[in-house]
Chains A and B, each alone.
Chain A
Amino acid sequence: MDHDHTHTHAHGAGAEMHSQELVEHEVAPNAKSLTTFAVLAVLALLALFIGFSNLGEWKVVANLLVATVQACILAFFFMDLRQADKLTWLIALSSVFWTFLMFLFILTDQLTRHLGVL
């Protein structure tokens, strides 16, 4: 790579800002990522175990609960929400809120229709 003046200057400024950002942004050690992965893998095994069991109508409830826990762990640790700023949290939670509204208004209509017409 070339090392002209602009390049070096930008790199120097970048490195300074970068170290500033790293002070605020803790870099999780690989061991922590491996632990997160292990927890997610165990939860995936649990989901399969539930899927292969005979829980009847509770199966989907239990499995969705496991999936929700998995999604939270993934977002919190792998997607680094754990150290995100408030605005990022607001954006992430807004997706849950808008999805909730979509489910609420569509399902209140769909699931209260007279089933005899189906």
Chain B
Amino acid sequence: MAANLKGPVAHHFNNLNQQLTTVRMGMWMFLVTEVLFFGGAFCAYTAYRVWFSSDFEAGSAALNVGIASVNTFLLLTSSLTITLGIRAAYAGNPKKLRNYLLATIILGVAFLGLKGREYQLDYQEGLIPNVSVLTPEAQKVVNERIAKDPGKADEKVYPFNENLAVVLHHEKFKGEPFVAYDPFRVQLFFMFYYSMTGLHVLHMIIGLGLLTWQYILACRGFFDYNARYVYIEAMSLYWHFVDMAWMFLLPLLYLAGPHSASQALEQFKVAIGLAGGTH
């Protein structure tokens, strides 16, 4: 992207062909490091998933699969729009290129918006490991338990565990209630959930920043030399990689537990305010 604005060949390259090859290969090499970066997280997840499979499935059952499903298609569509953007750049059509870049940015922002809403709902349901606050529903359950057996008043209460139990027994939204799980191991699942989706979100934010930069450059006529399409191409490689990472996050985190299509629909309605939530 550091190419001068007066010609398509940057000063440190001998010719355009060398520049195109270098830019493409540089991005592919960067993506190798990215694969290994995400690979480490996936590898750790695999080790614990094999050990604690039913606990991880219980954790997955508590996630909002409705938002994840919609986000999958948003990201997939953004992969299409950026690909069409490259085609427009190849064809030397800057106006179409700008439109496709803008569409990609909008789809990416929509993904992040929904992701933010998902984190907010998780927070409201008290599904943060080591959280110190009981949700009103969980407080009610604890109170009822103590009322039935006053001897349990001295027992230590772990808010995450109580909140999780409420979420997993809320049949309308979360499917079949889970019985056989260790809530402390589910906390481990949630650590993976937050760190892996957090890493993905970080990549999305960086990608959106770069896309916005390219959109500004496109508006300034930088891509009027259509030979500069290689920068869009390099950006698209990164964006497709982010999409690819999501293709594996979806089944490993969201689809690991029991879910249903009707539950996903209900969860999405709650997320966009068309139905009441668990709270």
Contact = CB atoms under 8 A, between A and B. Distances in A.
Interface of A: 1, 4, 6-7, 9-11, 13-15, 17-18, 20-22, 27-30, 33-34, 36-37, 40-41, 44, 47-48, 50-52, 54, 57, 59-60, 63-64, 66-67, 70-71, 74-75, 78-80, 84, 87-88, 91-92, 94-96, 98-99, 102-103, 106-107, 110-111, 115, 118
Interface string B115-144: 000000000000000000000000000000
Given A10-B7, A15-B227, A103-B46, A51 B255 contact: yes
A95 B91 CA distance: 32
Interface stretch (B25-33, B160-168, B194-202, B266-274): B25-33
Interface of B: 6-9, 15-17, 20, 24-25, 28-29, 31-32, 35-36, 39-40, 43, 46-47, 49-51, 53, 65, 69, 72-73, 76-77, 79-80, 83-84, 87, 90-91, 221, 224-227, 233, 236-237, 240, 243-244, 247-248, 250-252, 254-256, 258-261, 264
With most chain B CB atoms within 10 A of its CB, the pick from A1, A37, A52, A99 is A52
A10 B76 contact: no
Contacts, number: 171
A36 B76 CA distance: 11
Contacts of A63: 250-251, 255
Nearest to A18: B227
Contact of B80 (A37, A51, A107): A37
